[in-house]
Structure 1
Amino acid sequence: MAELNTQARSLRGRRRTQTIAARVDLTAMVDLMFLLITFFMLTSSLSKFHNMPLAMPDKAPGGSGFKIPDNRSMTICLGDNNKVLWYMGAVANPLAGPSTTHYSSSGIRKEITAKNKEAIQSSGSITKGLIVVVKPSDKSSYKNLVDILDELKIAGVNTYFIADLSAAEINQMRKKGIY
C-alpha cells in the first residue's frame, strides 16, 4: 500500500515528547487518478479525417462509353516546378489553350472559375457545370494533386476525375517546358 509517513516531534521544555505521526493512505488517490485518466481517454475524441469524393474512370479496353461536350470539359495536366497546363475540349483541337499557369488564386483558380461560369451559362443549368479531368504527370508531386483538388473545391466544380496522360499531352507539356 502507498502511504505517507511523517515524523512529528515536539520539544516542550526539557523533556522530549514524541507525538504520533499521521498516516495517510494514498491507495484511493492512485485508484482515482487511474479512473480519471481512463475516463478522459475513452471520452475524448481525436481529430477526424475529412475525405473528398473522387471518381476514377473505368479502364475499359474500348475506352469509356460517354462523350463529354467540348465546351464543358477542361483538362488540367500537372507538370514540373508547380506548373499546370490546361486546355478546353480535346487535345488535338482545343477550344481554349493549351496555356501554362501556376497554383494560386490568380492562376489556375481564376481560369477554373471563369470556365465554370461559362459552362453554366452555355448549358443553362447550374447542375451542368464544368467537367474537369485532372492528369498528374510523373514529374508532379502528391502536393500538386491535393492543391488542384482544393482549387476545384474552392471554384465550385462538382464533377472531376483523375486520368492518365496521353502522348499528345506529354508532347504539349514538353513544348511548354514543364515536363
Structure 2
Amino acid sequence: MADLQTAAPAAKGTKPRAKKHAFRLDMTPMVDLAFLLLTFFMLTTTFSKPTIMEVAMPDPKGETDVPASGALTVLLDKNHTVHYFYGLNSTTEPAQLHTTSFGTDGLRKVLLQFRQKKGMVLIKASDKAEYRSMVDALDEMNITDTPKYALVDLAPADKQLLAQAK
C-alpha cells in the first residue's frame, strides 16, 4: 500500500504552507498478482507430449516367414549410403544390389513403388552404419505409410553383397 508521511505541525504566527507528502509505492500486491497469473498459466497449459514411434521387433530366434517375392531389403552402410534389393538374399540365389540415397527421389520413391505390392520391408544395418541412417530409414517408413517393416540383423550373405558393392 502507499504510505503517506505527514509533516510536523507548523509553528504559530507563521503563514501556513502546503504540506509536502513523501510518496512510497508498495509493490507487494502487483508482485502477488504476477505470481498468481504465472501459477495459473503454468497449471492450465498443456505440455508438449513426447512423440514416439512404434517399432515391432522381429522374432528373437531370427526366423522370418516373409516370402522372397514379397520382400524389399534395405541395407544401411557407412557414409549414409543406402542399398536395396528385392526378395531375400541367399548364397544360392544372390540378389542384385541397387544403391540410392535418402532423398525424395531415392529411398522414398522406391518405397512408394514397393508399397503397391503390399510386401514387407526388411531394414538391415551394417556395423559401420550411422545411427542417423537408421532414424532416417524409419522416418521414410512413416512418411510413405509403409504398413509392414522390421529391423533385422545383417546376414553373412548380406555382408558379402555389401563387400562386393564397394
Common fold, TM-score beyond 0.5? yes
Report the identity percentage: 36
Helix, strand or coil at the partner of 1:71: helix
Partner of 2:37: 36
Partner of 2:155: 166
Maintained 8 Å contact 1:130/1:157: no
Maintained 8 Å contact 2:4/2:21: no
Q: Distance between the aligned counterparts of 1:130 and 1:74, measured in 2? A: 7
Partner of 1:104: 103
**TM-score under structure 1 length normalisation:** 0.76
The count of residues paired between Structure 1 and Structure 2 equals 157
Q: 2:137 aligns with which of 145, 148, 168?
A: 148
Any residues of structure 2 matched to 1:35-114 within 5 Å, and which?
Answer: 35-60=36-61, 63-64=62-63, 67-92=65-90, 93=93, 97-114=96-113
Maintained 8 Å contact 2:123/2:150: yes
Maintained 8 Å contact 2:81/2:99: yes
Q: CA deviation at 1:6?
A: 8.9
Larger radius of gyration: 2
Q: Distance between the aligned counterparts of 1:6 and 1:160, measured in 2? A: 77
Partner of 1:126: none
Q: Unaligned regions of 5+ residues in structure 1, if any?
A: 8-13, 120-128
Q: CA deviation at 1:164?
A: 1.1
Maintained 8 Å contact 1:101/1:107: yes
Partner of 1:131: 120
- Deviation readout 1:14-57 (Å, 9 max, x if unpaired): 98644222343322211111111111122222322222211111
Helix, strand or coil at the partner of 1:25: coil
How big is the alpha-carbon RMSD for the aligned residues of Structure 1 and Structure 2? 2.6
**Runs of 4+ in structure 1 displaced over 3 angstroms?**
3-7, 14-18
Q: Pick closer, same or farther for the CA change 1:173–1:6 going to 2, 3 Å.
A: farther
- Deviation readout 1:120-140 (Å, 9 max, x if unpaired): xxxxxxxxx120111112222
